[in-house]
Chain A
């Protein structure tokens, strides 16, 4: 569904991304991990179409990103960015319905409203439809923003769509982090491809089908969590001593005090 080939990008003299290659297959959940400044957010912005790469190409559904109109692209890929900037007193339902922009007519249809309500339930925010968005807590807002992203590509995921998440669990407590990741995983089960930028190695280990480890703008490990999450790889990626534990088939990392 998503192909990234030889992607390069630089700000001024130093490169931020260099020859990045990876694919996300249909229904696959890929997490991108890396230290601060590794190039994760730049990679996210390029794949979203917010930045133009200096070299390389991004294809979604076999078509180059530039071949899509904004509306076509929005129906195919949905993205949750790090920081929301909305500061008007809209109701939660109206805010989530903004995600249906590329699909809808001048007014939201019944189907749009149903999709928005389903998306809210998916992230544990059912019953919050009439609440004012700006008066929610940071974590609640984050989940509503995620619901808007889910709503953009349909209430329960579908083939030929890509869901992109940049730190979806920021501002979320552990329980709600799992709730957000479960919602994304459910979309992956319905054949939506998911690409998530994460800081939490253990969440990636539990939910991702594959992990891409990014360091200094290059992917140096890509594969199944069990193969990628080794103590050596994590030390290389984050520059921190760590211990790996296994439980229930998942690997968990604990980073040690420096």
Chain B
């Protein structure tokens, strides 16, 4: 637990620092004194206030939210599939949600229908993984993972097809739904998604002891007294809703759900009770940092955030993997 608290406090401090940097980065230079004045409601001009409250702050909150959701969903999926390679984007939940959004765009839906459609399809993808992963009435982690990979490929292909067939969305829409972006995040989009996402995070957290047991394997978990079916249902539903909520806000950001739980597990332990909060804060750090980098590299039209998370996360992940001897 001591290691957990050290890394948790360090992650929180890093997130606070990155948040401050994120608020200061943008096309228009704004001093930190002005940012603080705007945040605390002291007299600054309306344009500055609008930039802070309507553009930069929602973008920061969206980054924190999506990072926390994706990393936590990754923790749940890796435990559930008993495979350190499972993450929301590999197991098809992200692609399912993106497909839902793409379909809603195709039918000319507004922001709300797009979000609902993303949520429904994300859950549907999770349900499909759940059903296809059952062999002789028992859930097989390996079959679920394979089913997830197939669903991911299928949904990804459909998203590509739909995006290219819609003129207005076109390539830009395709990039958003496959590589993610924090541009154009609004408080309205965030409100619904964050309510559901945070609710599911707590459901997952209170289920984390059961999730630890599932890591032993279904039979071993049952013999130790865990209600395996209930743990699996709660975890897969919570992970799917959290992923769909993140996808609604920022499209698919890959790698966060894979690399962050891995890194946190290497730094502390595989105990999901500590891994979930640490991964949530660390995931938020990775996404906020990636967003800062994407804006600094290309201030006018920021680089898709999924590109940055992968470029930053992969080398660091490989370094830790080599240092840790390749263990989970």
Contact = CB atoms under 8 A, between A and B. Distances in A.
Contacts of B266: 89
A179 B145 CA distance: 39
Contact of A102 (B216, B225, B269): B225
Interface string B261-273: 0000110011101
A19 to B, nearest CB: 25
A188 B265 CA distance: 39
Nearest to A133: B270
Interface stretch (A32-40, A69-77, A205-213, A238-246): A69-77
Size range of the chain B interface in the assembly: 20 to 34
A13 interface: no
B227 interface: yes
A132 B212 CA distance: 16
Given A106-B273, A134-B328, A89 B225 contact: no
B216 A98 contact: yes
Interface in A47-62: 48-50
Nearest to A74: B225
A94 B269 contact: yes
B47 interface: no
Interface of A: 48-50, 70-71, 73-75, 78-79, 81, 84-91, 94, 98-99, 101-102, 106-107, 132, 134-135, 148, 152
A63 B328 CA distance: 41
Given A101-B224, A134-B328, A135-B327, A90 B271 contact: yes
B217 interface: yes
A134 B84 CA distance: 14
Contacts of A102: 224-225
Given A89-B270, A134-B327, 19 more contacts: A50-B219, A70-B222, A74-B225, A75-B225, A84-B216, A84-B217, A85-B82, A85-B217, A85-B220, A87-B328, A88-B215, A88-B328, A89-B269, A90-B270, A90-B271, A98-B212, A101-B213, A106-B206, A132-B327
Given A75-B225, A134-B327, A86 B269 contact: no
Nearest to B229: A70
B216 A73 contact: no
Nearest to A95: B216
Contact of B216 (A75, A85, A132): A85
Given A87-B82, A134-B327, A101 B225 contact: yes
Given A74-B224, A74-B225, A81 B219 contact: yes
20 contacts: A48-B223, A49-B222, A50-B219, A71-B225, A79-B223, A81-B219, A84-B216, A86-B216, A86-B220, A88-B84, A88-B265, A89-B265, A90-B269, A90-B271, A91-B269, A101-B209, A106-B206, A106-B273, A132-B327, A148-B224
A106 B220 CA distance: 19
Contacts of B223: 48-50, 74, 78-79, 81
Which of A86, A134, A135 has most B Cβ within 10 Å?
A: A86
B224 A99 contact: yes
A79 B224 CA distance: 8
A102 B273 CA distance: 16
Interface in B125-148: none
Which of B84, B215, B223, B265 has most A Cβ within 10 Å?
A: B223
A1 B287 CA distance: 56
A234 B99 CA distance: 64
B226 interface: yes
- Which 3 A/B pairs are nearest by Cβ-Cβ distance? A74-B225, A102-B225, A85-B217
Interface in B176-217: 206, 209, 212-213, 215-217
A2 B265 CA distance: 41
Contacts of B212: 98, 101
A70 B265 contact: no
B65 to A, nearest CB: 25
Which of A88, A134, A148 has most B Cβ within 10 Å?
A: A88
Given A85-B217, A88-B215, A98 B270 contact: no
Nearest to B84: A88
A62 B224 CA distance: 21
Interface in B215-253: 215-217, 219-220, 222-228
A79 B225 CA distance: 11
Contacts of B215: 86, 88
